[in-house]
Structure 1
Amino acid sequence: MSLDPTQLANIEAYDVERRFQYLVKEAVKQEEIWILTDEHGCVMLNTDDEDCVPVWPNKEFAEAWATGDWAHCKAEAIPLKTWQSRWTPGLEDDQLAVVIFPKTEEDGLVITPDELDFELSQQQQKLRKKR
């Protein structure tokens, strides 16, 4: 799904909690989650306390973040089933966190992979009930 500039600007203005909710809904609806990769693999960020994998709900947001030092990075979609079956346990095993939908001038919400998986599973159940 492609977003027009007005939609991008409106969503970009969301606070961290609303961006988290948006990411969960979009990831379940589109059945994918977006990361950035470079020649070394998945892009990582560091907070004061944790190493994190940043994730985005749409290709446009991931690409918009890939500027400056990150301009060489490419947005890559991870199928949601693969994220939940491989990435979540792998990130947990490696003691990595997930930073949700970061913006260039603002920190994103940092959560555990299990917390993200729980929210994704809850949203998947809601969607199934609607069908």
Structure 2
Amino acid sequence: MHPEKFKQVAALSSAERHAYFVRKVADTQEVWGLHHDGWATAQLEGKVALPFWPEAAFAQACASDDWEHFQPRAIALDDFLNKWLPGMAENHQLAFVFPVPQGSASVAAPGDLLADLQQEAEQYE
């Protein structure tokens, strides 16, 4: 990824990054997480949140501190929609959408993120 593109996208507001995430994931058909003996998690609002990114480079940029040994790993969008998000909803977990090293991220209920992605996917059919 070109460094200038990385900088511009990372500088977007959390709401703009959420929208970018939805568009990019619908286009590439994959979601990125961080993995090392399990998937990276964070604690938000007293709940477990799983961070997700639209591209490997953004996930890699967050592989520091608590996640320093983690590596980007792709998740097929079909699995994300049909397994991950429903499972997260059952477990009362949250989606930590597109965090960046210096900034906030949007926090979404799995059902809300699923609806956003399904709505975007309809535009590709």
Q: Could you tell me the TM-score, scaled by structure 2's length?
A: 0.96
1:91 matched to which residue of 2? 88
1:1-131 mapped onto 2 (5 Å cutoff): 3-39=1-37, 41-128=38-125
Unaligned regions of 5+ residues in structure 1, if any? none
Three-state SS of the structure 2 residue aligned to 1:127 is coil
Counterparts of 2:52 and 2:62 in 1: how far apart (Å)? 11
Q: CA RMSD in A?
A: 1.0
Cα shift at 1:73: 0.2
Counterparts of 2:65 and 2:49 in 1: how far apart (Å)? 19
Letter in 2 for 1:17: A
Unaligned regions of 5+ residues in structure 2, if any? none
Cα shift at 1:68: 2.7
Letter in 1 for 2:20: Y
Three-state SS of the structure 2 residue aligned to 1:42 is coil
Cα shift at 1:105: 2.5
